[in-house]
């Protein structure tokens, strides 16, 4: 369930170049200090082009979320299309790994920042709810396929996928915003839950 974002790596056209610049500026300055001028520092063309395509930084960031969701829906296959148990383990290993390849660590920090805006801005809440629903559905499909193939116990895929997804987000948020060892200390308990509740003997 690796997330791919070609519009950030190889943008096509001016709008995607602006979105790439916005993401880079967000990673450098954070949401509170993000301005069109600072976005322009990462954009090779005139700032006037930014205003031609977008009204303000929130308009830019909401489009970034839209493109991210669109790409995920195209690049992440339904959960039953691959062997369920190895796929779930790969997802969890990637999420709990201390090393984040390339810009993935910065990407996840950016998502945490945008989640904070969703607390008081319905536009961000709507976009991120769409993201969460899609990812939880893919996770649910992996678990459902594992149950059907006998790799997982006869669990409720809705409940288990929701629990795992919630844990993954808590882990991501703590790792992005805290210097404590709490996430690392929780890993054995997460493994125990999966062994006792999900994986077939």
Helices (H), 100-156: 104-117, 122-148
- Provide CATH 1.10.357.10 ranges for the chain: 78-201
Report residue 163 as tokens: 């629990």
Fold annotation for 78-201: Tetracycline Repressor; domain 2 (1.10.357)
pLDDT on residue 99: 57
pLDDT on residue 2: 42
Query: Residue 191 is inside which H or E element, if any?
Result: helix 182-193
- Provide CATH 1.10.10.60 ranges for the chain: 1-76
CA–CA gap between residue 5 and residue 11 (Å, rounded) = 9
pLDDT on residue 181: 87
Written in H, E and C, the secondary structure of 33-68 is CCCHHHHHCCCCCCHHHHHHHCCCHHHHHHHHHHHH
Statement: residue 31 has pLDDT above 80: yes
Report residue 10 as tokens: 């190889």
Average pLDDT, the chain: 87
Check: CB of residue 27 under 8 Å from CB of residue 109.
yes
Check: CB of residue 3 under 8 Å from CB of residue 107.
yes
Establish how many alpha carbons lie within 13 A of residue 92's alpha carbon, considering only the half-sphere containing its beta carbon.
Answer: 21
> Does the domain made of 1-76 have the CATH classification 1.20.1110.10?
no
1-26 pLDDT, tens per residue?
Answer: 444 567 788 888 999 999 999 999 99
The gap from C-alpha 39 to its chain's centroid, in whole angstroms, comes to 22
pLDDT band for position 41 (cuts 50, 70, 90): very high
Q: How much of the chain exceeds pLDDT 70, in percent?
A: 92
């Amino acid at each position: 369930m690796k997330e791919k974002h070609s519009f950030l790596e190889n943008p096509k056209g001016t709008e995607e170049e602006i979105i790439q610049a916005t993401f880079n500026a967000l990673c450098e300055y954070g949401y509170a200090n993000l301005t069109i001028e600072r976005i322009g520092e990462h954009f090779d063309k005139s700032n006037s082009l930014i205003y031609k395509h977008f009204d303000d930084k929130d308009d830019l960031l909401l489009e970034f979320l839209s493109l991210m969701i669109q790409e995920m829906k195209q690049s992440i296959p339904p959960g039953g299309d691959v062997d369920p148990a190895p796929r779930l383990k790969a997802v969890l290993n990637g999420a709990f790994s201390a090393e984040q390849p390339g810009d993935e660590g910065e990407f996840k920090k950016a998502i945490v920042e945008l989640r904070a805006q969703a607390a008081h801005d319905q536009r961000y809440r709507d976009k991120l709810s769409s993201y969460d629903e899609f990812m939880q559905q893919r996770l649910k499909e992996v678990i459902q396929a594992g149950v059907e193939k006998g790799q997982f116990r006869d669990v409720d895929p809705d409940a288990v996928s929701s629990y795992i997804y919630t844990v993954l987000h808590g882990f991501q948020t703590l790792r992005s915003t805290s210097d404590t060892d709490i996430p690392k200390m929780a890993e054995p308990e997460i493994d125990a839950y999966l062994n006792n509740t999900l994986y077939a003997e």
